[in-house]
Structure 1
Amino acid sequence: MTGRRAAGQAVNGGVPGAVDDAVVVGGGAAGLCLAHWLARNGTAVTLVEAPDGPLRPPERTWCYWEAGTGPFEEAVTASWQRLRVRGTDGVVIESDPAPLRYRMVRSGPFERLVHSRLAAAPGARLVRATVHEVREAACGAEVRCTTPGGRPLTLRGGHVFDSRPLRGTPPHRTLLLQHFRGWFVRTAAPRFDPAVADLMDFRVPQPRHGLAFGYVLPLAPDRALVEYTEFSRAPLTTGAYESALRQYTGSVLRLGRFTVESAEQGVIPMTDARFPRRTGRTLFRIGAAGGATRPATGYTFAAVQRQSRAVAAALHRGRPGVPPPHGRRALAMDAVLLRALDTGRVDGPRFFTDLFRRVPIERLLRFLDGGSTPWEEFGIGLRTPVGPMLRTAAELPFLARRATGRSEESHR
């Protein structure tokens, strides 16, 4: 498919009557990734982002693992060659997942990188506007919005890819929330090893339902992102997160004197809901709204990259569509784990600690990214509490899906 809009049209403004090959709604990770790959394929694309104000989310952190150097390496804030998990008893499991490397991307630098690439692409433009309606039209699809100055604006494209968060979670059997608050801290003395990231540190008080852990991403010997995270049914108050972080940084990490330079907070739905990726003949959902969040972990960024490349390639071939971001086997296994955690049949801290202890970390990360073989998955399954997991798998087909809960945009 070739771009239908004339090259060189202005960024940050709508062009009356123009019809793009695609309009991408939302400037989060999914929208930015897809706009990047569409523009790279020569597709005429408009990316519409919310203007400055309450609809624009604060800066966020996205993490993923990848081998080699990826297309967005310039936006990587930090990366780690070694990963660590700590059990409730303090046992340390540290591994090198080579050839994979754990990476952190901050939304600000990532947005600036993609914007610069779109500005250099002849068929791409960026529009700042508030979207009110997405609908099918004679040209394909229309996006009705309002500019920051209050002027109505209609964007037209052959197809629309919408990454805005859903208002509610689709019907599901299990819905847990991964909710967290993190501090970017600077310590008075060196306290961190910049070569090692702590993925899960279970040396925190465990809630009555679900599990909790610390998450430490060192940026320098005296700087790090330190998070308190829970997997449970309801988020905490900001005060409760702050109290948990004070306990973790003081009693567990023993950071001494430090300053909090900034903070971030978020909620990620972990659910076995089925997310429709097509809402009309020319209307699609992408990103977390299209099911890109891995149900058992909350990670989204790597799946968004894979999905975006596939969508751009399909549209370029004239066969538009949004492929499933995760395979059926992965989703089935995740559904069993979520149910087992939600019912309390498995002890969360022990489950994850044993998994990282018993499975080579490179294989485990490939499994969590959907890149493992059926034989590898069978081996991983044998290293979980087999009885409770089989009992859970047997009951899942008989459970009704219900429509309750609320969905938020994925944070990492």
Structure 2
Amino acid sequence: MLVPDYYYVIVGGGLAGLQLASRINNDVFFKGKKIAIIEPSKKIENDKTWCFWQNTPGKWDHLIHKSWNKAAFFSSETEQTLDLGEYSYNMIRSSDFYEDVKKELEKSEDFIFIQDRIEKIDPVTRTAVGKKANYTATHFFDSRLTDKYKEEVKHTVLYQHFKGWLIETQENIFDPGKFTMMDFRLKYKDSTSFTYVLPLTAKKALIEFTFFTPFLTAEKVYDEMLERYLKEILQLKDWKITETETGIIPMTDFPFHENNSAYITRIGTAGGWVKPSSGYSFKSTERKVEQIIENIKSGLATSEGLFNKSFARYDSIFLDVLSRRNDLGESLFTKFYTKNSIEDIFRFLDEETSFSENIKIMLSLYHPEFIKSFFRKL
């Protein structure tokens, strides 16, 4: 084989690709290795909002747009204020993240940004075929999501899909010290659906209507539910929409990691890095990137140790329940947030809890449907 164009090619300049690139850039082990980041768009718009919790200082603290220490949870029967204790819940705008990492990498002679769309990667010739050119490398990190996860009926597939409005009001409406984790007081019929509120100031907030369902819906449905929430729940008469964002995240127990090979590692959503039962990805991506770096430096396969089978099993059972009985979502999430401490909740979602702690949390969610799903997924 001829000398490849690049040591690594990172396909996709989103969250996973740029976190990986930044981590490589800050490790002397990779100094002198030529790396290409190939992305079809310029990535200059704020196309996503990422939120995550942490109880220690982190690498991305300088990009935090807003942080909260209290959360609200609403169901049709209860209202809870959750004190996050040692944790903070943080928001990062994607445009800030893209700009920050690009500026960092542009100072390095090892990285090059290429605007192109990769159509396929040939593992035999180790070639990424793009619309503009072909690119060879010793290894590819591929963030392209295919539809293969939809084709195998033995795996459960739901979608977390949403639309958000960044609104401004004339009067002081919001408590900027407390965000709303979930508000089930307004739901779409027979579904797991809720509103998520991130107040930035007393007059400004990002409000998202979110579905966690086996089906997708028309654009007008999000708009109708958002407008109803503003009028019926927040009792607003006047507001201005300054930004909008939408998203569709597959929530599935499909084993994305089985698509990894000696020369291709799937990353991001395409690698199964999104937590299937919650949709959170920012800190999960950071942890998996760290594991990849450790694997490379130790001479292991890049995907070694990226997934915890026990937590994957819990996620799979939970997804199966919601797939068959999507109307149970409000009840299950209410139990989750009212019967467990916020510290245990965050540690469980971060896959840091012990077996006994996991059993305690799963029992707090108990419903007969879990027994059916347990045996279905066995």
Q: After TM superposition, is the score higher than 0.5?
A: yes
Structure 1 residue aligned with 2:313, among 319, 322, 332?
A: 332
Give the letter for the 1:196 counterpart: K
Could you say which residue in structure 2 is the equivalent of 1:144? Answer: 129
Give the letter for the 1:145 counterpart: G
Could you say which residue in structure 1 is the equivalent of 2:59? Answer: 71
Could you say which residue in structure 2 is the equivalent of 1:31? Answer: 17
Which whole-Å deviations, capped at 9, do the CAs of 1:201-242 have from their partners, x for residues lacking one? 00103422x311110001111111101111222211111110
- Going from structure 1 to structure 2, the CA distance change for 1:297 and 1:378 (only over 3 Å counts) comes to same
Give the letter for the 2:291 counterpart: A
Instruction: Please tell me whether residue 127 in structure 1 is matched to residue 109 in structure 2.
Output: no
Could you say which residue in structure 1 is the equivalent of 2:141? Answer: 161
Identity %: 26
Could you say which residue in structure 2 is the equivalent of 1:382? Answer: 363
Secondary structure of 2:331's match?
Answer: helix
Quote the offset at 1:132 in angstroms. 2.6
Distance 1:94 1:47 in 2: 43
From the two aligned structures, give the one with the greater helix fraction: 2
Aligned partners of 2:16 and 2:268 also within 8 Å: yes
Could you say which residue in structure 1 is the equivalent of 2:199? Answer: 218
Distance 1:205 1:384 in 2: 20
Question: What is the root-mean-square deviation in Å for CA atoms of aligned residues?
Answer: 2.2
Give the letter for the 1:190 counterpart: N
Which whole-Å deviations, capped at 9, do the CAs of 1:362-383 have from their partners, x for residues lacking one? 1111101111111111111221
Could you say which residue in structure 2 is the equivalent of 1:198? Answer: 180
Secondary structure of 1:382's match?
Answer: helix
Give the letter for the 1:69 counterpart: P
Could you say which residue in structure 2 is the equivalent of 1:186? Answer: 168
- Going from structure 1 to structure 2, the CA distance change for 1:65 and 1:269 (only over 3 Å counts) comes to same
Q: How many residues are aligned here?
A: 371
Aligned partners of 1:292 and 1:304 also within 8 Å: yes
Which whole-Å deviations, capped at 9, do the CAs of 1:85-111 have from their partners, x for residues lacking one? 11113x211112232211111111101
- Going from structure 1 to structure 2, the CA distance change for 1:193 and 1:345 (only over 3 Å counts) comes to closer
Aligned partners of 1:277 and 1:286 also within 8 Å: no
Distance 2:88 2:345 in 1: 13
Quote the offset at 1:137 in angstroms. 5.2
Aligned partners of 1:291 and 1:325 also within 8 Å: no
Quote the offset at 1:348 in angstroms. 1.4
Give the letter for the 1:133 counterpart: K
Distance 2:143 2:37 in 1: 11
Distance 1:112 1:345 in 2: 39
Distance 1:17 1:51 in 2: 28
Secondary structure of 1:169's match?
Answer: helix
Segments of structure 2 that go 5 or more residues without pairing to the other structure are none
- Going from structure 1 to structure 2, the CA distance change for 1:109 and 1:382 (only over 3 Å counts) comes to same
Question: Which stretch shifts more, 388-397 or 79-88?
Answer: 388-397
Quote the offset at 1:323 in angstroms. 3.9
Structure 1 residue aligned with 2:6, among 20, 25, 32?
A: 20
Give the letter for the 2:288 counterpart: Q
Could you say which residue in structure 2 is the equivalent of 1:407? Answer: none
Could you say which residue in structure 1 is the equivalent of 2:335? Answer: 354
Aligned partners of 1:188 and 1:256 also within 8 Å: no
Secondary structure of 2:148's match?
Answer: coil
Aligned partners of 1:270 and 1:298 also within 8 Å: yes
Distance 2:304 2:178 in 1: 34
Give the letter for the 2:320 counterpart: R
Give the letter for the 2:138 counterpart: G
Could you say which residue in structure 2 is the equivalent of 1:409? Answer: none
Could you say which residue in structure 2 is the equivalent of 1:271? Answer: 252
Distance 1:303 1:157 in 2: 26
Instruction: Please tell me whether residue 40 in structure 1 is matched to residue 20 in structure 2.
Output: no
Aligned partners of 1:202 and 1:214 also within 8 Å: yes
Instruction: Please tell me whether residue 260 in structure 1 is matched to residue 235 in structure 2.
Output: no
Distance 1:362 1:164 in 2: 34
Structure 1 residue aligned with 2:281, among 282, 293, 300?
A: 300
Q: What TM-score comes out, normalization by structure 1 length?
A: 0.84
Give the letter for the 1:272 counterpart: D
Could you say which residue in structure 2 is the equivalent of 1:84? Answer: 72
Segments of structure 1 that go 5 or more residues without pairing to the other structure are 1-15, 147-151, 398-412
Aligned partners of 1:198 and 1:217 also within 8 Å: yes
Give the letter for the 1:37 counterpart: R
Distance 1:345 1:105 in 2: 30
Which whole-Å deviations, capped at 9, do the CAs of 1:94-142 have from their partners, x for residues lacking one? 112232211111111101111111122342222222223322356xx32
Could you say which residue in structure 1 is the equivalent of 2:47? Answer: 59
Question: Which stretch shifts more, 157-166 or 309-318?
Answer: 309-318
Quote the offset at 1:145 in angstroms. 2.2
Quote the offset at 1:317 in angstroms. 3.5
Distance 1:134 1:117 in 2: 28
Aligned partners of 1:185 and 1:260 also within 8 Å: yes
Question: Which stretch shifts more, 122-131 or 283-292?
Answer: 122-131
Aligned partners of 1:346 and 1:388 also within 8 Å: no
